[in-house]
Amino acid sequence: MTADADIIAGLRDAGLSGEGDIVLEPLTGGVSCDVWKVETPTGPIVVKRPLEQLRVAADWHAPVERGQSEVRWLRRARGVDPAIAPEVLAELPGYGFAMRFLPGCPVWKDELTAGRVDADFAAGVGRGIAAVHAATADSAADRDAFPTDAMFRALRVDPFLLHVAQKDTELAPVLTALADDLSARKIALVHGDVSPKNILVSTGGPVFLDAECAVYGDPAFDLAFCTTHLLLKAVWLEDARLGEAASAMVAAYRAGIEWEDADDLLLRAGKLTAALLIARVEGKSPAPYLTDPGHKRIVRDQARALILAPTPIDALVANWKRNLA
């Protein structure tokens, strides 16, 4: 039985198909998964199944069980606010799953790239992630439901923080300490991949996808991860509005911090952002659009300075320079 036949049988077993043939139409994206759109008698759905070998330049394997983490995160987030994640309809063979397709919702990255930068929407992203963090902070049940530290280490800590540490002796002590701190903190449920390419723009605000890296860990990571993307895009597109969007996101997130001292979190997020910024120019998963050597230098120079002299994330964003002028 081919993999597709497996998926089709799973959809039939879950009662998600009619009598006729099931047509799997590939969706764009998909570095780490096969993602298809499927028409069903009750409307379109998305079927997603993790790949064992990620489609990135460097050899990069990841356990397929991460599909299960994503399902758990999506369900938990919908429990916090049903508007912020798609509904999971069924779990399928090979850690695949089916979810409801959200029609007419562009990917936020495409909106930003097209010059449609909406600071209110960015604030909604900050509110959405803070809501999940607040609802899951200090929760033994959530901690037990996400025993995914090894996965988070393999997909986030090693490639983003420790890969650069291996190559750069000056930064190594700071990055290694940061990696240890990140791995040790067990505060709230972290999505792990809050990137504009994993956020749909719906009329009701942001919808978060792609939670394969979910872990019970440091919520500062999610804020830092998304901020990194916005700051890289500010350099790439030389657009000040992306920095303003990042500021709006951070401010909205800050207003939602009710589980710990906000200043502590913002400083951790500032350190992580600096580390993630350098990882996106020198790490294992470089930002694909940041190819211009001048752009890379702007990011690298600022990131190095910020790693060696940490700044809270709100100040980091406010001072971020988009060009050499």
Residues that bind Mg ion (CB under 5 A): 198, 210
CB of 279 to ligand ATP, least distance (A): 16
The binding track of 23-42 with respect to ligand ATP, each residue x by CB under 6 A or -, is ----x-xxxxx-x-------
Among positions 160-219, residues that touch ligand ATP (CB under 6 A) are 197-198, 209-210
Among 102, 119, 290, 315, binds ligand ATP (CB under 6 A): 102
Q: Are 299 and 277 in contact (CB under 8 A)?
A: yes
Which partner, Mg ion, ligand ATP, none, binds residue 85 by CB below 5 to 8 Å per kind? none
CB of 196 to Mg ion, least distance (A): 10
Residues in a beta bridge with 207:
200
Structure tokens at 199: 């956020």
Which partner, ligand ATP, Mg ion, none, binds residue 46 by CB below 5 to 8 Å per kind? ligand ATP
Q: Are 104 and 159 in contact (CB under 8 A)?
A: no
Query: Judged by CB, which is closer to Mg ion: 68, or 198?
Result: 198
Element (H, E) at 151: helix 149-152
Among positions 66-95, residues that touch ligand ATP (CB under 6 A) are 86
Which partner, ligand ATP, Mg ion, none, binds residue 48 by CB below 5 to 8 Å per kind? ligand ATP
DSSP classification of residue 87: P
- Alpha carbon of 118 to those of 275, 278, 297: distances in Å? 26, 26, 27
**φ and ψ of 205, to 5 deg:** 110, -165
- Binding of ligand ATP by 99 (CB under 6 A): yes
CB atoms within 10 A of CB 248: 21
Q: Are 161 and 279 in contact (CB under 8 A)?
A: yes
Give me the residues that bind ligand ATP (CB under 6 A), please: 27, 29-33, 35, 46, 48, 86, 99, 101-102, 105, 107, 197-198, 209-210
